[in-house]
Each structure stands twice: as C-alpha cells, then as structure tokens.
C-alpha cells in the first residue's frame, strides 16, 4: 500500500488517477483520490450487446490507455495489473488508469522475478516463470484487453490454470468479431507477440496504422466486402446475408 502511494505521488497525467492525499493511522493507510464517476471499463463492456465496443470507440479508449502506459514506462513504472477492472472512465468516457498495487519502479530493461498479475492477462514470460521486463508485460496485457474490447471474451482461456498457461505460451487466438478492420488485427498481433524482445513499446503502438485510419466504419465495411468476395471465389456458403452484402453481388 505504501509503495502504491509513493508511485502515485510520482505521477501527474490526465489518464492516470490522481492521488490527492494519503495518511495512515495505527491500523490503516488511507488514500484520498479524485473520484472517477463513470465506472470501470469492465462494467461498461458488460452493458454492451455481445460485450463488445464498436471499433472506433475501442480505438479511442485504447489510445488513451497507451498514452497513460507510455507515461508510466517513461518513469520506469510498470503497472503489472492492466485489466478491464483497473481502467476507469470519467463522465466523458475518458480513461483513468487505477490500482498501482502490483506496480514496481525499476529500470525498464532490468528483469523482474516476481510473477504476479491476473492469469488471463499474464504474458508468456510470466506464466513460464522466466525473468521478464515490466513494460513489455504491460503491453501484452493491453493486447489481451484490446482483444476483449472487440470480441467480448478473452483470447486465451483454459479449463485449468495450466491449460490457460499453455495457450498463453502458444499465443494463438481466434477472432470472433468478423467486422474488425485489417489494421485492428495487425495491432492486436503486434501486442500479443510471444517474444518480448520484438513486442512493441507503447510509443511504437501509438504510431501504428490503426490510429491513422480516417473512417473506421468504411474500412470495416470494405473488409467485410473483401471477405465476402473471397468466400464466393472459394465457394464457401455465405450463411449471413445482410442488405449491403447482397449489394456486392449486383
Ligand atoms: N479513484 C476512484 N474513483 C472511483 N472508484 C474507484 C477509484 N479507485 C478505485 N475505485 C473503485 O474501487 C475498486 C478497487 O480499487 P483498486 O484500486 O482497483 O483496488 P484493488 O486492488 O482492490 O483491485 C475499483 O475497481 C473501482 O471500482
Ligand atoms: Mg483493481
């Protein structure tokens, strides 16, 4: 708890919760924080149909998470518990990163031995119990979160922890949402790179093509058309026909 206070005192960023004051009694440590009124990203997602956001909104939120992470990493702070529950939204649906209870402040390149976090979000290095650098582990967790924002479930699931960890180490996942853009799939793949040496930094991701698409809806529609045509050429039966997919045949 005291470490969380020390780390929060070092930070001043619009997408990170502000610590106003901290004090302790014999039995308790009290943290007075700005009140973030919009609830967590976890509860926001639960209100959505299929627990999915549309890609434009996911992109806006993910961008803010990356800005917050870039700031943390620039101060050599690794969050180590990035997940939907630890992202709060203010009244304008802007991101506030909370819960630095697992966080650590060590030089970015220095490897960590403490294997902590939330199982579904743990990077392959953590579940393999090999020493890992903090920032790339945060990036992996944001990849898991990015997957969840558009697919309504986690990329890696298992009947047991061992089963889950095996799937994380393999790093393969299935995309359920057929309407996402190629750029989304590419940035997701970059985040969920099992090799932490080649996994991008927060800044690398902020420069990604996904953030440069001008009209995501039009791009997603083009991708849907492309898939539809490919299926016709491959003679794969089209199960779902919507008005606009029928138009392509004409
Ligand atoms: N600044 C805040 N404003 C509003 N709610 C908050 C704030 N900080 C924490 N909470 C609420 O309290 C919960 C637990 O806080 P958190 O810091 O994540 O602790 P824990 O280590 O128990 O997960 C959060 O999921 C959130 O619902
Ligand atoms: Mg929490």
226 SS3 class: helix
Q: Which ligand is closest in space to the CA of residue 32?
A: 1
Q: What is the pLDDT of residues 136-182, one digit of tens each?
A: 999 999 999 999 999 999 999 999 999 999 999 999 999 999 999 99
Nearest alpha carbon, ligand 1 atom 18: 99
Give 221 Cα–ligand 2 centroid separation in angstroms.
37
Which of 65-74, 112-121, 179-188, 219-228 is least confident?
Answer: 219-228
Label residue 221 by pLDDT band (50, 70, 90). confident
Beta carbons within 10 angstroms of residue 182's beta carbon: 14
Q: Is the pLDDT of residue 57 over 70?
A: yes
- Ranges for all domains in the chain classified under CATH 1.10.510.10: 38-207
Q: Tell which CATH architecture fits domain 38-207.
A: Orthogonal Bundle (1.10)
Q: What is the pLDDT of residue 46?
A: 96
Q: What is the pLDDT of residue 249?
A: 36
Q: What is the pLDDT of residue 236?
A: 67
Integer Cα distance of 71 and 79 in angstroms: 11
Exposure string over 210-247, b if 16+ CB within 10 A, otherwise e? beebeebeebbeebbeeebeeeeeeeeeeeeeeeebee
29 SS3 class: strand
The answer to whether 65 touches 205, Cβ cutoff 8 Å, is no
Residues in the chain: 250
115-119, 222-226, 237-241: which has the highest mean pLDDT?
115-119
Give 184 Cα–ligand 2 centroid separation in angstroms.
27
Cβ(101) to ligand 1 under 6 A?
A: yes
Per DSSP, the residues of 148-180 read HHHHSS-S---SSHHHHHHHHHHT------TT-
Q: Encoding tokens for residue 72?
A: 């943390």
Give 98 Cα–ligand 2 centroid separation in angstroms.
7
Q: pTM higher than 0.95, yes or no? A: no
1, 34, 99, best to mutate for ligand 1 pocket (most atoms within 8 Å of CB): 99
């Amino acid at each position: 708890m005291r470490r969380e206070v020390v780390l929060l005192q070092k930070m001043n960023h619009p997408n990170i919760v502000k610590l106003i004051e901290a004090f302790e009694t014999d039995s308790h440590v009290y943290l007075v924080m700005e009140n973030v009124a919009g609830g967590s990203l976890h509860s926001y997602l639960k209100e959505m149909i299929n627990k999915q956001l549309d890609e434009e909104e996911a992109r806006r939120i993910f961008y803010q998470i990356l800005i917050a992470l870039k700031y943390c990493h620039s101060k050599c702070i690794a969050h180590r518990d990035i997940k939907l529950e630890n992202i709060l939204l203010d009244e304008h649906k802007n991101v506030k990163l909370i819960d630095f209870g697992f966080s650590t402040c060590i030089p970015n390149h220095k490897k960590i031995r403490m294997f902590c976090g939330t199982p579904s979000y743990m990077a392959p290095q953590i579940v393999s119990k090999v020493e890992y650098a903090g920032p790339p582990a945060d990036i992996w967790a944001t990849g898991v979160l990015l997957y969840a924002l558009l697919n309504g479930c986690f990329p890696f699931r298992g009947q047991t922890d061992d089963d889950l960890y095996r799937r994380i180490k393999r790093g393969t996942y299935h995309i359920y949402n057929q309407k996402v853009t190629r750029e989304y799939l590419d940035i997701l793949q970059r985040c969920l790179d099992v090799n932490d040496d080649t996994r991008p930094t927060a800044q690398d991701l902020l420069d990604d093509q996904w953030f440069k698409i001008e009209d995501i809806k039009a791009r997603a529609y083009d991708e849907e058309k492309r898939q539809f045509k490919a299926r016709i050429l491959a003679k794969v039966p089209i199960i779902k026909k919507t008005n606009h997919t029928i138009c392509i045949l004409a």
